[in-house]
Amino acid sequence: MSEEIDRSDMEYAVFAVRHQPILLVVARNLCGRNASDCEGLVHDVLLRALLKWDMLQSWSEPERRAWLVRSLHTVFMDQCRRQKPEVAAGITLDNVHKLFEEPDAPAPELWERLSEAELREAITALPYTLRRTFEMHSEGLRHAEIGRLLGAPEATVGTWLFHARIRLREHLRDLAERRRKQSSG
């Protein structure tokens, strides 16, 4: 019996060591550059795997990997839900920069060079699903509710929102940069 437990523990350790780098990459994609958040996520997922090791042992390697990645995404989403949401009352020039904040984002004064009409025009130019997802999210709806309304899985809503932000950021940043150059040159 003790030999069986030792072998099972060793199998789990090999499993965890083999999959930890993959999980860290996925966690970095979800969390950004904050290493401690990434490591915490991976730790939580590997703990879940340890607690379910009896079940996972009988699964194939691809099934285990899929379970790990799904669990990582679930843990990440649970942590996001527990954080106090920053709900925008609507899309305005006063809060548009918050939708694009990231470590290398331009300073908020760059966004002040845009008009309300230009912001609305950029949003309107998005493809329908990206635009509706962005609008509903900025009105305070959660991914699950947006997915229900648009008939899409929650993860797809997150992807649409991500792509909407990227397109808006690129379009609006270019426009704001041109304005800054015009006013200073």
Q: Which of the residue ranges 35-49, 73-87, 94-108, 121-135 would you say has the lowest mean pLDDT? A: 94-108
18-21 contact pairs (CB < 8 A, 24+): 19/46, 19/64, 19/65, 19/68, 20/46
Q: Looking at the structure, tell me whether residues 134 and 166 fall in a common domain.
A: yes
CATH number of the structural domain spanning residue 41: 1.10.1740
pLDDT at 103: 44
The whole domain housing 138 covers: 96-184
Q: Looking at the structure, tell me whether residues 78 and 120 fall in a common domain.
A: no
Calculate ∠ Cα 92-97-99, nearest 5°: 90
Q: Looking at the structure, tell me whether residues 121 and 169 fall in a common domain.
A: yes
Q: Looking at the structure, tell me whether residues 100 and 169 fall in a common domain.
A: yes
Q: Looking at the structure, tell me whether residues 15 and 64 fall in a common domain.
A: yes
Q: How confident is the model at residue 154 (pLDDT cuts 50, 70, 90)?
A: confident
Residue-wise pLDDT for 162-185, tens only, equals: 888 888 888 877 787 887 787 776
Percentage, residues of the chain above pLDDT 70: 77
Q: How many CB atoms lie within 10 A of CB 61?
A: 10
Residue 90 located in a structural domain? no
